Amino acid sequence: MTFEYAPAPESRSIVDIKAKYGHFIDGKFVTGKNHFATINPATEEVLSQIALGSASDVDKAVAAAQKAYTKTWSKLSGKERGKYLYRIARILQERAREFAVLETLDNGKPIRETRDIDIPLVAAHFFYHAGWADKLDYAGLGKSPQPHGVAGQIIPWNFPLLMLAWKVAPALATGNTVVLKPAETTSLTALLFAQVCQEAELPDGVVNIVTGDGTTGSAIVNHPGIHKIAFTGSTEVGKKLARAIAGTDKKATLELGGKGANVVFDDAPIDEAVEGIVNGIFFNQGHVCCAGSRLILQEGIADEFIEKLKVRMAKIRVGDPLDKNTDLGAINSREQLLKIQELAGVGDSEGAERWSPACNLSDKGFWFAPTIFTGVTQAHRIAREEIFGPVLSILTFRTPQEAIEKANNTPFGLSAGVWSEKGSRILWATQQLRAGVVWANTFNKFDPASPFGGYKESGWGREGGKHGLSAYLKEGK
């Protein structure tokens, strides 16, 4: 039986988007000089004009963060810092719907995800880290652990507010102050977060937000007043950052790309595994560094599995991100759409077989239908490169050892999934997989208490949990 869904649009009247934004420096919004447009990727409507941060804006933000660090923030007890974090977390919860709608408008991801996943996790990160602020001396984080000072934080567009929370919450809990740059295409929720900092009466200069592009990010990275860098984004830019800070005493965590393998053994519960594979690659339009973008299927079940996967994919609703029924929203930008189209085209020309369900895609905005490629081999670029879109590459295996070799045959090492009914097989496989996070019979589960990060070209260090805190601390005297 097929259900027809009546439109169920979330109202956008709750958000108040200004025509133009400046930076948030020293507790105040300051005007920028040059601006660029931020658009709704589902409609191409211009939402607002965002300030393009210059080196001098970054200078002012770093000076404000340094002053706040020396005069206020480093003098507060952990207990007092924790109170601010709790206050921020509660305000985020109170304004959750506003944040969810704004994130959906600016990013293109479905309201179902911003409402049920992004924003609740954002609040959870602040609550979690609030609890740590007064316990740092007792948690095995070294002798009398001390903050680094000013942290420079650069975040991507795929989980704009959530990546802000991953970075700002541990920095503040550990006593650092912050200069953060959101991604060019998704600055609006970071600027709304600045209002939350004001509402929470966070001391001026503890959080500074400078909007802009890669040049703004580079000015933060190279600023001598920055002591620690936290970056999430592409491996290419991650490598540039690593080169830029080599030879300095700046600390860095880099959370980069991935090409996660979801390994399905022939004893796996097939319907559940199909659901997990769909979640693994089509959640957030596949704009997920830990997406399960390679499905590695045991040969004996491959035909049946792919048939079931196609039936399930035909039910994915693609369209208006503000509609509460939508599963797959818009691609975040024209550049990203072009990249996905290019790599999918490479899949065709390399001889893999493409399949997508019939979808009505709007002429306006940036859209890509959920897509699978079968007949993929290890040599194909679509098996090796991060597509960062709703595209799944399917490979097969005969023996468990072959599955592990294929899963590990990647320059990345961020995530993996194992699907099997046998506990012993799951334990064996998870020990062999070279990935920072391995999920068993599930995928894309996130929790602030759980460290996240990768091996090889997926980056350095961990974010979240106790491991994530240690990146913001150095040993005291």
Q: Residue 256, interface with ligand NDP (CB under 6 A)?
A: yes
Q: Which stretch binds ligand NDP (CB under 6 A): 78-86, 134-142, 216-224, 309-317?
A: 216-224
Nearest CA among 315, 92, 53 for reference residue 182: 53
Q: Residue 214, interface with ligand NDP (CB under 6 A)?
A: yes
Residue 439 φ/ψ, nearest 5 degrees? -100, 145
255 is an active site residue: yes
Q: Residue 334, interface with ligand NDP (CB under 6 A)?
A: no
Number of H helices, E strands in the chain: 16, 19
Q: Residue 189, interface with ligand NDP (CB under 6 A)?
A: no
- Three-class SS of residue 175? coil
Q: Residue 435, interface with ligand NDP (CB under 6 A)?
A: no
End-to-end Cα, the chain, rounded Å: 68
Measured distance CA(89)–CA(123) in Å, rounded: 5
Q: Residue 121, interface with ligand NDP (CB under 6 A)?
A: no
What is the footprint of ligand NDP within residues 146-175 (CB under 6 A)?
Answer: 154-158
Q: Which two tokens stand for residue 465?
A: 């949990």
What is the footprint of ligand NDP within residues 347-406 (CB under 6 A)?
Answer: 386, 388
**Cα 136–Cα 141–Cα 147 angle in degrees, nearest 5:** 65
Q: Which stretch binds ligand NDP (CB under 6 A): 16-24, 66-74, 228-236, 373-381?
A: 228-236
Q: Residue 53, interface with ligand NDP (CB under 6 A)?
A: no
Q: Residue 461, interface with ligand NDP (CB under 6 A)?
A: no
Question: Minimum distance between the CB of residue 335 and ligand NDP, rounded to whole angstroms?
Answer: 7
Question: Minimum distance between the CB of residue 217 and ligand NDP, rounded to whole angstroms?
Answer: 2
- Three-class SS of residue 19? coil
- Three-class SS of residue 264? strand
Q: Which is nearer to ligand NDP, 133 or 387 (CB)?
A: 387
Q: Residue 289, interface with ligand NDP (CB under 6 A)?
A: yes
Q: Which two tokens stand for residue 407?
A: 């899963």
Q: Residue 233, interface with ligand NDP (CB under 6 A)?
A: yes
Q: Which is nearer to ligand NDP, 152 or 205 (CB)?
A: 152
Distance of CA 88 to the CA centre of its chain: 20
Measured distance CA(127)–CA(88) in Å, rounded: 9
Measured distance CA(18)–CA(5) in Å, rounded: 33
Q: Residue 275, interface with ligand NDP (CB under 6 A)?
A: no
Measured distance CA(58)–CA(39) in Å, rounded: 24
Checking 435-439 for CB contacts under 8 A at 24+ apart, the result is 435/260, 435/261, 436/462, 437/290, 439/415
Q: Exactly one of 289, 386, 457, 463 is catalytic; which is it?
A: 289
Q: Which stretch binds ligand NDP (CB under 6 A): 13-21, 214-222, 323-331, 421-429?
A: 214-222
184 is an active site residue: no
Q: 152, 257, 347, 370: which one contacts ligand NDP (CB under 6 A)?
A: 257
Q: Which stretch binds ligand NDP (CB under 6 A): 209-217, 344-352, 367-375, 461-469?
A: 209-217
Question: Minimum distance between the CB of residue 212 and ligand NDP, rounded to whole angstroms?
Answer: 6
Q: Which stretch binds ligand NDP (CB under 6 A): 50-58, 132-140, 180-188, 404-412?
A: 180-188
Question: Minimum distance between the CB of residue 244 and ligand NDP, rounded to whole angstroms?
Answer: 7
Question: Minimum distance between the CB of residue 174 and ligand NDP, rounded to whole angstroms?
Answer: 22
Q: Alpha helices of 202-249 — where are they, by DSSP H?
A: 214-222, 235-245
Q: Exactly one of 255, 385, 386, 463 is catalytic; which is it?
A: 255
Q: Residue 336, interface with ligand NDP (CB under 6 A)?
A: yes
Q: Residue 240, interface with ligand NDP (CB under 6 A)?
A: yes
Nearest CA among 97, 26, 106, 101 for reference residue 59: 26
Distance of CA 243 to the CA centre of its chain: 23
Residue 177 φ/ψ, nearest 5 degrees? -110, 170
Q: Token match 């300095």: residue?
A: 248
Q: Which two tokens stand for residue 167?
A: 């970075």
In the complex, the residues that contact ligand NDP under the rule CB under 6 A are 154-158, 181, 183-184, 213-214, 217-218, 221, 232-234, 237, 240, 256-257, 289, 336, 339, 386, 388
Active site positions, annotated: 255, 289
